A and B are shown apart, each in its own frame.
Chain A
């Protein structure tokens, strides 16, 4: 089976995020880049499925030429091929991104070139929670989001979603789209050898059309959230604090 994993290059932010002066983005001058955590798991799932069922895996992203770095991370994780839908790096919304990916997947014809399309449930930065679903709708494929367990047998994907007290089980006929969450697997570490190899592999680069639908949704500016200035009540230092903690749990929080 042929599996596509779609990822997004995002800054590797620490505890504190610094904005650019124009408030349009994150100051990345001192930051490295990575991909969203859910998407690393999408790559791992793609590689594992191809290991088990044969076929080929592909990693795809829409972004600037720099996003090749994240595609190579995918290649180093044993993905077979990489595709870049190259843009000037400007932020594309969920609809335009999904339309471009759907175009790329159809590749001029009506047929979807993959048996399974994997996405992260939401990107780490913008978190629109939509691209996977919108791609599926563009392609007329079944889709389920937020999956933490995925197996494929006889052309059917069995996908499980965590809910309170258990897991919902969905069954999708392939071809299908699934968006996954961290915890579905443990992404492998790429060996130095595979990283070296990935550097030499080619990346299939194309320029997508930007299609926007009716209605607009545009970022005006970013800001740091208001911080809560209230300080915690310090109940004490060390084990001596225990009697006071007990009092608080009994009389204020009322959990005893």
Chain B
């Protein structure tokens, strides 16, 4: 029986959300191709994902180990995935559209000399595969045909809803030691510098209060900071606000900034251009505060207040303080 491999990123044995999204799509592919769904994990604690990915129907967890593989090494990861794919009959390999997922699959594709379809949202199995993938950060959908011995795919982040399998499995963990030499370890994470920004990192915040051109100046972001603090969240910004120099680029949400998935995204004075929405559509709830009732963000969000943010945001902060 052939296999569909799914790259699962983990931290402390816990699979990343976007990996579970791509695992969900990988299961659909495996079902349609009548193949076994198998996970690929790296890291000392990699084997610990077994139970979590079993909930998604994974039959085997390939735990990649190598005495030199103690951190992230893009070329080593890509070649390990390529070697694992070549070791058996591999129908397809799917990875999340994260930085590491994209980079690993680019290496795997180069290593196998096969095409990679990046940022897919749907995969149709056949002798030749048909995929739907994002162009322009999701502003356009491309339908493409992919014909290769092994179909290599990355899955657009926050597009496929993660969904556990109807029948959970109890996957076995199999060690896999790739054949790697010095070249594949030329580039590794040498060290990690902690962020010097205070507060909750954008990618981890449950609440993000973001401001756009409507904020008007750097000083008025204080109003957003205050609300974010009260909600236990952090501040984000649109590309327009960053370009104005009101916020650092690290705060930018959107196509060329962060793609986030908080419980609540409060969009203040942000019109909601497609390039911005790609960064925040993973949010469970979007509350738009905008003076323009026709702004695109109003259509895209769950809740909206038609108002000047400079009036509503401080009033809301005050109300929250009063309620406490």
Contacts and interface: CB of A to CB of B under 8 A. Distances in A.
Main secondary structure of the interface of A (DSSP, over half): mixed
Interface string A83-101: 0000000000111001000
Contacts of B138: 225
A146 B103 contact: yes
Given A143-B187, A256-B323, A134 B149 contact: no
Contacts of A170: 187-190
Given A144-B74, A145-B103, A232 B298 contact: yes
Residue of A37, A224, A245 ringed by the most chain B CB atoms within 10 A: A245
A8 interface: no
Interface residues of B, number: 91
A133 B311 contact: no
A17 B134 CA distance: 13
B109 A134 contact: yes
B165 interface: no
A167 to B, nearest CB: 5
Mostly, the B contact residues are mixed
B299 A166 contact: no
A165 B195 contact: yes
A215 B138 CA distance: 25
A137 B149 CA distance: 20
A198 to B, nearest CB: 23
Contacts of A144: 74, 103, 187
Interface in A15-56: 15, 17, 19, 26, 37-38
Contact of A145 (B99, B143, B154, B302): B99
Contact of A214 (B141, B148, B315): B148
Given A94-B116, A133-B107, A164-B201, A218 B304 contact: no
B223 interface: no
B192 interface: yes
Contacts of A183: 249-250, 252, 256-257
B316 A245 contact: yes
Contacts of A199: none
Interface string A203-224: 0000000000111111111111
Interface in B115-150: 115-119, 130, 134-149
B32 interface: no
B89 interface: no
Nearest to A13: B136
Contacts of B37: none
B190 A127 contact: no
Interface string B180-202: 00010011111111110000010
Given A133-B103, A242-B316, A142 B186 contact: yes
A233 B305 CA distance: 9
Interface residues of A, number: 83
B116 A182 contact: no
Contact of B115 (A93, A237, A250): A93
Given A232-B301, A255-B231, 7 more contacts: A129-B154, A162-B250, A216-B147, A218-B144, A236-B305, A237-B307, A249-B320
Shortest Cβ-Cβ A-B pairs, 9 listed: A215-B148, A183-B249, A217-B115, A133-B106, A137-B110, A129-B102, A232-B304, A182-B256, A142-B186
Interface of B: 72, 74-75, 99, 102-103, 105-107, 109-111, 113-119, 130, 134-149, 154, 183, 186-195, 201, 203-204, 206-207, 231-233, 249-250, 252, 255-257, 263-264, 273-274, 284-288, 293, 296, 298-308, 311-312, 315-316, 319-320, 323
Interface of A: 13, 15, 17, 19, 26, 37-38, 93-95, 98, 122, 124-130, 133-134, 137-138, 140, 142-146, 148, 160-173, 181-183, 213-225, 228, 231-239, 241-243, 245-246, 248-250, 252-256
